[in-house]
Amino acid sequence: MKRGNQLNFREFAMQIVFLATACVSILAVILICVFLFANGIPTMREIGFVNFLFGTTWAPNQNLYGIFPMIIASIIVTAGAILIGVPAGLLCAIFLARFCPPRLYKILKPAAELLAGIPSIVYGFFGLMVIVPLMQNLVGGGGKNIITASLMLGIMILPTIINVAEASIRAVPQSYYEGSLALGATHERSVFSATLPAAKSGILAGIILGVGRAIGETMAVVMIAGNQPILPESILSGVRTLTANIVLEMGYATDLHREALIACGVVLFVFILLINLCFSALKRRAE
């Protein structure tokens, strides 16, 4: 009887611990939202929502705070990272989960996990010393442009997509694959027609996490994107993303300038939220 009471007490205690942990996480998100919107919305109102969101000139010394070039840069660079990173990461995950020999897997899997642990500044240094000179030789110019930033971010989101997608593929019941083989499908067709559709929920989750990292990445982008707060004329133009704009100027910003940078954080927050909602809608539609 005492043992049963002890077990019930332990279960109750763990429920309290889990509930408290969940509440702390929710509270942290709420506090971040309150801080951002309480400081950002009044600033946007003071500058003017249209002028702030669609203005093309960012010149704090002239009280001009237009972030439209940074919004466009963030969208383009993130889209480029998706085009590079998602197909490569998904194909790598499929290979690791269904096609990779065991000996090779023991090498490739730790390598993919190691990519996730490399600091952003190291990625940025690699991009600055390797990718930027390569772009200079291929297309000329300074080498710090949209293509360079997109390629670097595409590499950075690979481990997130690979690890989550592979785990999702492996979680699909083996009966799906075996049933497809029993109907006469080949190994490749069984994987792509039976296993992958069943794992689409987890794969989408991996893509969302990868896109979130691409949007929120700062240090690597600061080092290789060119940091020019102007509308890009081509994919070879230097750009400044929202995150780069914040980190470059927050150290010395004061008064309205500082509040405008916080408002940039609000826009970035809403931007990420909209992307997550779009992916969630696609997920529900697919189901």
Report DSSP letters for 139-200, one per residue. Answer: H-S-S-SHHHHHHHHHHHTHHHHHHHHHHHHHHS-HHHHHHHHHTT--HHHHIIIIIHHHTH
On average, the pLDDT of the chain sits at 85
Same domain, 99 and 150: yes
Q: How far apart are CA 147 and CA 69, in angstroms?
A: 16
181: tokens are: 């083989």
pLDDT at 6 (0 to 100): 62
Same domain, 116 and 214: yes
Higher-pLDDT residue of 53 and 7 is 53
Same domain, 73 and 38: no
Whether the predicted pLDDT of 110 surpasses 60: yes
Percent of the chain with pLDDT over 70: 95
Same domain, 156 and 196: yes
* Domain that residue 20 falls in: 2-47
Same domain, 172 and 220: yes
pLDDT at 88 (0 to 100): 92
Same domain, 103 and 173: yes
Same domain, 33 and 103: no
Same domain, 38 and 81: no
Confidence band of 87 (pLDDT split at 50, 70, 90):
very high
Is 229 in contact with 96 (CB distance < 8 Å)? no
Same domain, 103 and 185: yes
- With helix as H, strand as E and coil as C, how does 70-94 read? HHHHHHHHHHHHHHHHHHHHHHHHH
Q: How far apart are CA 175 and CA 98, in angstroms?
A: 14
Same domain, 42 and 83: no
- As a whole number, mean pLDDT of residues 166-178 equals 87
- As a whole number, mean pLDDT of residues 112-126 equals 86
Higher-pLDDT residue of 280 and 94 is 94
Domain CATH number, residue 231: 1.10.3720.10
Same domain, 149 and 34: no
Tokens 């600055």 belong to which residue?
Answer: 128
Q: What is the pLDDT of residues 179-189, one digit of tens each?
A: 888 888 888 88
- Within its chain, how far is the Cα of 104 from the centroid? 28
The CA-atom distances, in angstroms, between 263 and each of 19, 44, 49, 176, 247 are 33, 7, 11, 49, 13
